[in-house]
Chain A
Amino acid sequence: MAILSFLDKERIVAPPAYSRWLIPPAALCVHLCIGQAYAFSVFNLPMTKLIGITQSASEDWKLTQLGWIFSLAIFVLGTSAALLGRWVEESGPRKTMFAAALCFGGGFLISAFGVYLHNLWIIYFGYGVLGGVGLGLGYISPVSTLIKWFPDRPGMATGMAIMGFGGGAFIASPLSVWLMAKFSTPTHVGVAETFIVMGLIYVCFMMVGAAIVRVPAPGWAPEGYVAPARPKPLVTNQHVYVYDALKTPQFWLIWWILCLNVTAGIGVLGQASAMSQEMFRGRITAVAASGLVGLFSLFNMGGRFIWSSTSDYIGRKSTYFVFFALGTALYATIPYAGAIGSVGLFVLCYAVIFSMYGGGFATVPAYLRDMFGTRYVGAIHGLLLTAWSMAGIFGPVLVNYIREYNITHGVAKAQAYNVTMYVMAGLLIVGFVCNFFVKSVHERFHMRAVEADAEVEGAPVFGRQ
């Protein structure tokens, strides 16, 4: 449509004087908003009292029903990123960020309607499906753009954006609580109004990112940067077509690397509060545990930037070796910390584990770029996010199942997590082995120069559908 031509990739090619340091804030405009997903749980309890107001009435929704909203959104994030990744790459970041803003903000507005009508299916569709598509589009598009602007420091660049995804919850959580307090009355829980305000704020905020973002001109390179004539080990200067990447062992090894790293982290992330209270009964209260979870979230966010930036210097493969080796040692140390009653050692282990959990998310786009080049890195990243969806199911199930099994077999609650920790350490050893086998992609998978040039000009590559 001509009226929307300002969104086209060809219209957002950066002029020569454009500073690439405007791209990280553009990416953060999107990631800080969609990171709200991690804070969605603040709405769960108020949404169980929409009718009863002070306490849940029989017609009110149950927490188990509401939990599906977040799960559905994360599932749709992974699937939409996988299915729409190629469209994201070929349409350019402004169009996809614009679409992400409409989907994510629109999801909130539809959910407000669902709250107003007290119809949970409308919320499942609004936040879960439409919002989930916004999450998927918003997650991969800025990351791919940053990689193209920062060929010299792709890890640092993607770390900044993905740090924003971790940090979005820090803004959304207090903002949601404050808005609900403003809109609530003795006869009304202000969830619907909060959804409307947040939806509008997020649309505006993400649109600013879409307005700022630019793509580099063909052949552009940072001043003073010369691409190495001979590629460094495990860093290609070629490109691999998105669906050809699926045929390489490297894609599936990295898929498992991400899946195992996230499974180990996400499994204990949801249980951090309960685990700390049960392992240190009488010493860590429920209130202190919630403070600990906040602290761990800060390490999760900080790790995204610090580890991915570090990977620019020590290499992606070495960074994951550190995650898996150090992670194994730390998971194996946690039962010892519980046995000797050392809260300090427990907190230290957890803090580093969560920093590496975040670091795993932030470093993987640069790992993909090293393996498959920049041309389709966004689309390949989208496909890889299915590993996140899988880990989101496996991790919590694994932790909860092992804990229940131990307790029903007479293990004291304080020791019920020990086996879980050793299983997590085992998963990381498998991840270490997967990482060990990552080698450069065979040249038969590389795009031919004519194909790569055609992609630069925006022409479709025929015969590769």
Chain B
Amino acid sequence: MDGTRQTGGGNGVKLIFAWGFVGIPLVWGVVQTLVNALKAFH
């Protein structure tokens, strides 16, 4: 995995922030949708 090898300390922090920045809202949206879907089935 070139990405892993290229990643120094600075890049590692940037990667965590960047993926967290997009990942947290996405996971929140998916969880909301799943919760609503389950509510509907109940």
Please measure, in the bound complex, the distance between the C-alpha atom of A169 and the C-alpha atom of B8, giving whole angstroms: 34
- Choose from B14, B23, B32, B34 the contact partner of A19 (Cβ within 8 Å): B14
Decide yes or no: A208 and B40 within 8 Å by CB, A19-B7, A164-B26, A170-B30 being known contacts.
Answer: no
* A20 near B2: Cβ-Cβ < 8 Å: yes
Chain A: interface residue total (CB-CB under 8 A):
36
Q: Which residues of B contact A25 (CB under 8 A)?
A: 18-19, 21-23
A441 to chain B, nearest CB (A): 29
| B residues less than 8 Å from A169 (CB atoms) | 29
A277 to B23, CA, bound (A): 34
Please judge, given known A-B contacts A21-B7, A28-B26, A298-B34, whether A208 and B15 are in contact too, CB under 8 Å. Answer: no
Scoring B2, B33, B39 by chain A CB atoms within 10 A of each residue's CB, the highest score goes to B33
Q: Is the CB of B14 within 8 A of A298?
A: no
- B-facing residues in A19-57 (Cβ within 8 Å): 19-22, 25-26, 28-29, 32
- Hey, which chain B residues are within 8 Å of A292, CB to CB? 37, 40
Least CB separation from B30: chain A residue: A170
**9-residue interface stretch from A119-127, A220-228, A380-388:** A220-228
Quick check: is A274 within 8 A (CB to CB) of the other chain?
Answer: no
| Interface residues of chain A: helix, strand, loop or mixed (majority) | helix
Query: Do A29 and B39 contact each other (CB < 8 Å), given the known contacts A19-B7, A19-B15, A171-B29?
Result: no
Quote the shortest CB–CB distance from B34 to chain A (angstroms): 7
Q: Report the separation of the CA atoms of residues A167 and B22 in the bound assembly, to the nearest whole angstrom.
A: 11
B8 touches A17 (CB 8 A): yes
Judge whether B40 and A294 touch: CB under 8 Å.
Answer: yes
For chain A, residues 108 to 152, give those with C-beta under 8 angstroms from any C-beta of chain B.
none
Chain B residues whose C-beta falls within 8 Å of the C-beta of A295 in the assembled complex: 37
| Contact of A290 with B by CB under 8 A | yes
Mark contacts of A161-182 with chain B using CB atoms, 8 A cut-off: 1 yes-contact digit, 0 otherwise.
0001001011111100000000
Determine if A297 is an interface residue (Cβ-Cβ < 8 Å): yes
Q: Which residues of A contact B41 (CB under 8 A)?
A: 288, 291
A298 touches B6 (CB 8 A): no
Best-buried of A208, A295, A298 by chain B (most CB within 10 Å):
A295
User: Which residue on B lies nearest to A177, using beta carbons?
Assistant: B32
Give the chain A neighbours of B22 by CB distance below 8 A. 25, 28-29, 32, 164
- Chain A residues with Cβ below 8 Å from B26 are 28, 32, 164, 167, 170-171
User: B8-32 interface mask toward A, CB cutoff 8 Å, 1 = contact, 0 = none?
Assistant: 1001001100110111011011101
Task: Answer whether residue A314 sits at the interface, using C-beta atoms and an 8 A cutoff.
Answer: no
Taking a contact as CB atoms under 8 Å apart, the answer to whether A294 and B37 are in contact is yes
Q: A170-B26, A223-B2, A291-B40 are in contact. Are A22 and B14 (CB under 8 A)?
A: yes
A21 — which chain B residues lie within 8 A by C-beta?
A: 3, 7, 15
Contact residues of A between 282 and 322, Cβ < 8 Å to B: 287-292, 294-295, 297-298, 301
Whether A171 contacts B6 in the complex (CB less than 8 A), given A22-B18, A291-B40, A291-B41, comes out as: no
Of all chain B residues, the one with the shortest Cβ separation from A298 is B33
User: Shortest beta-carbon distance, B35 to chain A, in Å?
Assistant: 9
* Alpha-carbon gap, A301 to B30, bound state (A): 10
B30 engages A167 (CB within 8 Å) = yes
Once bound together, how far apart are the Cα atoms of A17 and B25, in whole Å?
28
How far is B21's CA from A223's CA once the two chains are assembled, in angstroms? 27
Q: 17 other contacts beyond A164-B22, A288-B41, A291-B41, with CB at 8 A cut-off?
A: A18-B11, A19-B7, A19-B15, A20-B2, A20-B3, A21-B3, A21-B7, A22-B18, A25-B18, A29-B21, A29-B22, A167-B26, A171-B28, A174-B29, A222-B2, A225-B2, A298-B34
Interface residues of B (CB under 8 A from A): 2-3, 5-8, 11, 14-15, 18-19, 21-23, 25-26, 28-30, 32-34, 36-41
Which A residues are closer than 8 A to B by beta carbons? 17-22, 25-26, 28-29, 32, 164, 167, 169-174, 208, 212, 222-225, 287-292, 294-295, 297-298, 301
Of the A-B pairs whose beta carbons lie under 8 Å apart in the complex, a sample of 16, sorted by A's number, is: A19-B11, A25-B19, A25-B23, A26-B18, A167-B30, A170-B30, A170-B32, A170-B33, A173-B32, A174-B29, A212-B18, A223-B2, A288-B41, A291-B37, A292-B40, A298-B30
